[in-house]
Amino acid sequence: MIDGMAEVVATPPIVAPLPVRRWRADDLIKAFFGSNALIAVVVLGLITIFLFREGFGFFGQNLRNIRLYRRAGLEYVDIIRDAANAHAALSRGLNLVQKSAQSTESADTLAQFDQFSAAFSDSADNLNGLVSDAGEKAVTLRDALALRAGDTDHATESGESTEAAPVDEAATIAALRTNTDAFATASAAVTTTVRGLLSTPPPFQTAKAKRAFERWTKKVDSYLAGLPATTEKLRAWNPDSPVPAYRAVTGFLFGREWMTASFWQDWYGIIPLLVGSLMVSIVALALAVPFGVASAIYVSEVASPAEKRLIKPYVEFIAAIPSVVLGFFGIAVVGETVRQLSQSRFLHWVGFFPISERLNIFTAGSLLALMAVPTIFTLAEDALRNVPRGFVEASYALGGNRLQTIGRVIVPASLSGIVSAVLLGFGRVVGETMVVLLCAGNRIAIPDFTQGLGAFFQPVHTMTGIIAQEMGEVVRGGIHYRALFMVGLVLFAITLATNYCAQKLVRRYRMAIG
C-alpha cells in the first residue's frame, strides 16, 4: 500500500472460447454426395479431353490421304471401278431374283434364267479388265509419291524398300487417261449386250417373280442411262484440281464408306456406322418401349400382389443375363428362326422374303430390346408409383374408370419419369457392344432402303462394334487409330445431344401442365 491506498491489480479480460464445429449427419451426407458429384464432373471432363487429344490430327492426316488419292490417279480409276461395281451389284440382284423364283418356277424357266444371268455377268469383262490395268499404274504412282513425301506406310506393309523409286508422274497420268476412250467403247458394248438380253427376258410364270424381275430391269435401265455421263466425268477429271480442306471433315461426317487396311485407299466415312447404330436402336426401342412401359403400368396399377411378386423379379432378372450369352442365343436361335420363317410358304406374300442373312438388324435389335426392357420397366414403374395418390382418388371421385385414370392422369403425371426411362433404355441400347458385334452381321454398308421394311433384315455394322473390333489391330497415333476415336467422339456427342433434347422436352411438358 502506498499512502493508504489499496494496490489495484489489473486482471486480463476474459476471452470466450471459439465454438468447436461438430460434424452432423447432414454435413457428412452432403460432403459425401458433393464429393461424388465433383468426381463425376472431373471424370467426364477427363474423358472429353482424352477423346479430343487422341482424335486430334485425324483431319490433317485424312486431308493428305485424299490429296494423294487424287494426284496419283486413284480417283480416276475409281470412276471406272464404280461403273464395274454397279454392274456387279446388278448381278447380285439378279441372283436374289433367282432365289425367290426357285420354289415357284419350272426347271426349264430356271435353266433359261441361268443362261441369262451368266450372259449378263460376262458382259462386264472388259470393264473389269480396264479397272485391273489402270489400277496397277495408279497404285505404283501412289506408292512412289508417298515415298517421295516421306510416307513409308505403303512400302513397309508390302515389304518393299523404303527408298523413293523413280517415277514419271506426267507420263503415268497420261497413260491412265488413255483409258477414257477404252471405257467409252467398253460401256457401249455393255449397253448393246444387255439391251439384247432384255429383249428376250426369261419366261417367268408367277406374278411375284415377274415383279421382282421388272424391278431389277428398271435398275438396269438406270445404270445403262448413266454410262455416258461416266465417260464425260472421266474426260473432265484433272489430277491438279485442289482439294479443299473441308473435304477432310465432310468426308468423315458424310462419307458412305469405311475401308481400312486396303492396298488401294483407306476411307473413314461414319455414315454406314451411324445408320447401322440408329437402325438397330430403332428396332430395339420399337420392341422394348411398348413392352417395358406396358408391363410397368400393369404391375403398378392392375396386377394383384401375387402377380407383382411373380412378374417384377423375373423381368428384372433379365438384366443379369450376360450380353455374350444373349449374343449366342441370337446367333443360334433368333436369327436362324427368322430366316427359316422367311423361307416358309406361309409368308411368301411378304415382298422382301426370303432373307439370306440370319445375322442382321432385326436379330440384333430383338436381343437389345430384351436387354433394355428391364431398365425401362424398373424406372417407368418407379415413376408410376410416385404419382400422388390424391390424383388417382380425385379421378375416381369424378367418375373416371381405371383405364381413364391410367391414360389421362397417371401416365401424364409420370411422363417425365417414363421419358427418362426410355432415354436410359436408349443409352443401354446404343452403347451395347457384344450383342451387335455377334448378331448385326458386321457388314459396313448402308442398307438398301428401296426394299422398305426389308432394310431391317440386312446386316450392318455399328459405331460401338467397329471400335471393339478394330481398336486392337491399329497402330497408336496412326490415322486409323485416330479415326476410331473420332467415332467415339460422335457417339459421345449423340448421347449428350439426346439428353439435352430430352431435358428440354420434359421441361416444356412440365410448363404446359403447370
Indicate the range of 311-315, 316-320, 344-348, 478-482 predicted with least confidence.
344-348
Per-residue b or e along 152-162, where b marks 16 or more CB atoms closer than 10 Å to that residue's CB:
bbbbeeeeeee
CB neighbourhood size of 47 (10 A): 12
CA–CA distance, 481 with 35 (Å, rounded to integer): 34
DSSP for residue 29: H
CA–CA distance, 247 with 244 (Å, rounded to integer): 6
How high is the pLDDT of residue 24? 63
Numbers of helices and strands, H then E, in the chain? 22, 2
What is the gyration radius of the CA atoms in the chain, in angstroms?
33
CA–CA distance, 96 with 351 (Å, rounded to integer): 12
Average pLDDT on 37-48 reads: 82
Is the pLDDT reported for residue 19 higher than 60? no
Residue type for 188, please? A
Residue type for 13, please? P
Q: CA angle, 379 as apex, 378 and 381 as ends, to 5°?
A: 65
Average pLDDT on 456-471 reads: 94
pLDDT digits (tens, 9 = 90+) for 63-120: 999 999 999 999 999 999 999 999 999 998 888 777 777 767 777 878 888 888 889 9
Contact yes or no for 409/402 (Cβ under 8 A) = no
How high is the pLDDT of residue 428? 85
How high is the pLDDT of residue 1? 44
**Nearest residue to 422 (alpha-carbon basis) of 380, 464, 385:** 380
Name, in order, each residue with C-beta under 8 angstroms of 35's C-beta and a sequence gap of 6 or more. none
Show the cell assigned to 409.
392422369
* Dihedral sign of CA atoms 238, 243, 247, 251 in order: positive
SS3 string, 350-365, reads: CCCCCCCCCCCHHHHH
What band does 229 get if pLDDT is binned at 50, 70 and 90?
very high
How high is the pLDDT of residue 162? 47
* pTM tops 0.75, yes or no: yes
**Nearest residue to 364 (alpha-carbon basis) of 486, 242, 281, 259:** 281
How high is the pLDDT of residue 9? 53
How high is the pLDDT of residue 349? 77
CB neighbourhood size of 268 (10 A): 24
pLDDT digits (tens, 9 = 90+) for 232-276: 999 999 999 999 999 999 999 999 999 988 889 999 999 999 999
What band does 508 get if pLDDT is binned at 50, 70 and 90?
low
pLDDT digits (tens, 9 = 90+) for 165-195: 567 889 999 999 999 999 999 999 999 999 9
CA–CA distance, 484 with 270 (Å, rounded to integer): 10
pLDDT digits (tens, 9 = 90+) for 443-459: 999 998 888 888 999 99
What band does 13 get if pLDDT is binned at 50, 70 and 90?
low
**What's the chain's length in residues?**
514
pLDDT digits (tens, 9 = 90+) for 111-157: 888 888 889 999 999 999 999 999 999 999 998 888 887 665 544 44
